[in-house]
Structure 1
Amino acid sequence: MVMENEEVSFADTVFGFWEDSQVHSVNSSNSSNDEEENYDDEEETFCTKEKNKAFWEEQGQLLQATLCRTSSIETKVRHATKEALGELNASERRCICGQLEVAKAKSCCRNCLDRDIRDRLLSLGFNCYISKSKWNNSPGTPSGEHTYLEVIDTSNSKRGEVKVVIELSFRAEFEMARANEEYNQLIMKLPEVFVGKGERLRVLVKILCSAAKKCMKEKNIHLAPWRKQKYMLAKWLGTYDRSTMETLPRAYTNRPQKPKTSMLTYDLLEKIPGLHCTTAVEVV
C-alpha cells in the first residue's frame, strides 16, 4: 500500500532495485574475494610446508649416503682411531701441558689428546700429522684457525697423495643453539668423530651449511659468517701447516714416577767408596 503524499514512479522502482542488487553484488564479491584470498594463503602455506619437508628429507638422504660411502684406507684409519680412543678412555693419564692434572682421555685437553692419537697412529705405521689451518679475513668471512689430525696415504702411486681427515669433535662443529628440530635431527646423524677423505668432507660441509642457511631463514635469523660454507671448508681444506715434531713425555698413569738422579746432586764419594778426591786448585 502507498501512503498519502508519496508517489513511487517506475524509475524509482527500477533504479532502487538496481541499487539494491549492486549492494548485494558488492557484498557477495567482497565475500568471494576474501574466501579466495584465504584459500590462496592456505595453499601457499601448504606448498611451503611441503617444500620444507622435501628439503629436509633430501638433505637427510644425501647426508646418509655420503657417510655410508668409504674406502679401504678410510676404514683402516677409522678402525685404528677408534682403538686408540678406546685405549685412552680405559686408562688414566696425566695431562702433559698442565691444563688438567689427572683425567680420563675424554675430558683431557684437546692438545694432549691430539698428540696421543697421533703418536699411536704413527706407531701403527700411519703417516699421521697434527695440522693447523689458518686463514685471513676476507669479505664476508672472518679470520680464524683450527687444529685437526690427518693421515697422508701414499701407498698407491696412481692416486698420488690421499688425505684422510680426523676430526675428534665433528658433530660439535655444526651444532647451533637456536636451530630448529629438523636441523637438530640432521646433526644427530653425524658421528662424533669423523674419519674420511677430503672430498667426502667437502660434500658433508656443503650439505650441512646449506641446511644451516635454510634453518636460519625459516627462523628469520641472520646466518653468522662463521657458519657459512667458505668458513667451514677453510677449517679442514684450507691453508695449513703439518707437524709431527712436537714430542712431549707421556704419562698414561697417575702413579708417581721415581725421581731422576742428577750428576749435580749425586754423591760420588758415598756411592763409590774407592774414589779419592783431589785437592781443589784455585784458579786466579
Structure 2
Amino acid sequence: MDEVAMINQEKFRHPYHDLDDMVFWFHDEEEVLESSQKSRTFIDEEEEDKKENEENNNSEERKAFWELQEELLQTTLYRTTSFEARVRKAAKDAITKLNSAAGHGCSCRKTAAAVSCARCGLKEMSTLLQNDGFDCVVCVSKWKSSSQIPAAGQHTYLEVVESGGSKKGDMRVIIELNFRAEFEMAKSSQEYKKLVAKLPELFVGKIERLRNLVKILCGACKKFMEERKMYVAPWRKHKYMQAKWRGKPLLPPPVAVVAPPPRKVPSAKRVSMLSFDFVDTLLHNKTVEVI
C-alpha cells in the first residue's frame, strides 16, 4: 500500500475504530445521561419539598391569623361597662316600641311608607332614650375626599354621652342599628364571613371599643383581599370606616328651662278715707263742735 492510500485510510477512519472502544464509549454516555437524570430528579424533588413546606407554613400562618382575629373580636365584644349595658337594654326596648308602632308613616312626611325613614327613625329612638333619662342625640358624619380618605361619604348614627366629671371625663357610647351590614361583602372568604357573622346587628358600645372592632375587621378584609389579589375599594379601607363615627350632633339635646319665680311687688298700704278724716280731725281739733 502506497503512502497516499494509507493517508486516505487514516483520514476516513472512525475515531473508535476498535469495537471495544466503541462499546466503552456507549457505556460512558449512558452513565452521563443517568447521572444527569438523577440530578434533575433530585432538584425537582427538592423544589417540590420546598414549595410544599412553604405552603404548609403559609397555611399555618393563615390559620393562626384568623384564629387571633376571632379571639380579639370576641374579647372586644364581650367586655362591657354597666352604663353600656343600661343603654343597650334601653335601645332594645326603644326598637321594640318603634316596631310595634310601625305603620304611622314618617314624621318628615317625605314618604307614606309603613316603616319610617332611617333619619326619622333615629330621631324617634333618640326621643325615647331621652325620655328614659339618657343624653342621646342623632349625629351625622360628613367627609370629603382627601389623600387619606379617597372617597367622600356621609353616615348617621346615635350617640349617648355620660358625664364622668372633671377626672374621668365624658363617656361616649355609640348606637349603630345596622352594624353587621357595615362590614358584609358578597365576595369574601369563609374566614371573613365567619368573623362578620359574630358581629351584633345592634351595636351599643364605647367609641374606643368601636374603633378596635373597626381596626380588626378592616385588617381582616385587607388580608383576604391580598390573598386573592383583589383591589381594596376606598370605602373598605380603615380610614374611611373610622370616619363614619366622627360626626356632630344633628340637633342639640333638649335643655330643660326652669322659669324663675315671679317677683313679689310690695303693695301700698291702703287707708280708709273715713278713718283718715276722723284721725286727722282728732289730731288738729282738740274740741269737737257739737251742732
The answer for the alignment partner of 2:146 in structure 1 is: 138
The answer for the alignment partner of 2:82 in structure 1 is: 72
Equivalents in 1 of 2:50, 2:130: separation in Å? Answer: 64
Unpaired segments ≥5 residues, structure 1:
248-284
Q: Provide the aligned length of Structure 1 versus Structure 2.
A: 237
Whether the 8 Å contact between 1:140 and 1:225 is mirrored in structure 2 is: no
The answer for the alignment partner of 1:242 in structure 2 is: 249
The answer for the alignment partner of 2:231 in structure 1 is: 222
Whether the 8 Å contact between 2:135 and 2:253 is mirrored in structure 1 is: no
Does residue 1:127 correspond to 2:135, yes or no? yes
Equivalents in 2 of 1:191, 1:208: separation in Å? Answer: 13
Describe the SS at the equivalent of 1:61.
helix
Equivalents in 2 of 1:26, 1:185: separation in Å? Answer: 51
Describe the SS at the equivalent of 1:24.
helix
Measure how far apart 1:19 and its partner are. 2.5
The farther-off stretch of 171-180 and 60-69 is 171-180
Whether the 8 Å contact between 2:105 and 2:113 is mirrored in structure 1 is: yes
1:161–1:245: structure 2 CA closer, same or farther, 3 Å change rule?
Answer: closer
Of 28, 31, 44, which residue of structure 2 is paired with 1:21? 31
Matches within 5 A, 1:160-171: 160-171=169-180
Does residue 1:108 correspond to 2:108, yes or no? no
Measure how far apart 1:197 and its partner are. 0.6
Does residue 1:59 correspond to 2:66, yes or no? no
- 2:248 is aligned with what amino acid? D
TM-score normalised to structure 2 length: 0.76
Unpaired segments ≥5 residues, structure 2:
1-15, 255-291
The answer for the alignment partner of 1:280 in structure 2 is: none
Measure how far apart 1:32 and its partner are. 1.5
Q: 1:137-171, CA deviations, whole angstroms, 9 ceiling, x for partnerless residues?
A: 11152121211110011044421111111111111
Q: 1:65-112, CA deviations, whole angstroms, 9 ceiling, x for partnerless residues?
A: 000000121111111101101111223332222344252xxx432111
Whether the 8 Å contact between 1:80 and 1:121 is mirrored in structure 2 is: yes
Describe the SS at the equivalent of 1:158.
helix
The farther-off stretch of 154-163 and 28-37 is 154-163
Structure (1 or 2) with the larger CA radius of gyration: 2
The answer for the alignment partner of 1:190 in structure 2 is: 199
Whether the 8 Å contact between 2:108 and 2:120 is mirrored in structure 1 is: yes
Equivalents in 1 of 2:239, 2:120: separation in Å? Answer: 29
Describe the SS at the equivalent of 1:199.
helix
Equivalents in 1 of 2:53, 2:164: separation in Å? Answer: 58
Of 148, 151, 163, which residue of structure 2 is paired with 1:154? 163
The answer for the alignment partner of 1:34 in structure 2 is: 44
Whether the 8 Å contact between 2:181 and 2:201 is mirrored in structure 1 is: yes
- Supply the RMSD in Å over aligned alpha carbons: 2.1
Whether the 8 Å contact between 1:70 and 1:196 is mirrored in structure 2 is: yes
Q: 1:216-244, CA deviations, whole angstroms, 9 ceiling, x for partnerless residues?
A: 112221010111111100111x3x32133
The answer for the alignment partner of 1:173 in structure 2 is: 182
- 1:151 is aligned with what amino acid? V
Equivalents in 2 of 1:70, 1:158: separation in Å? Answer: 20
Describe the SS at the equivalent of 1:220.
coil
Q: 1:32-61, CA deviations, whole angstroms, 9 ceiling, x for partnerless residues?
A: 211222222222222212211111111001
- 2:97 is aligned with what amino acid? E
- 2:249 is aligned with what amino acid? R
TM-score normalised to structure 1 length: 0.78
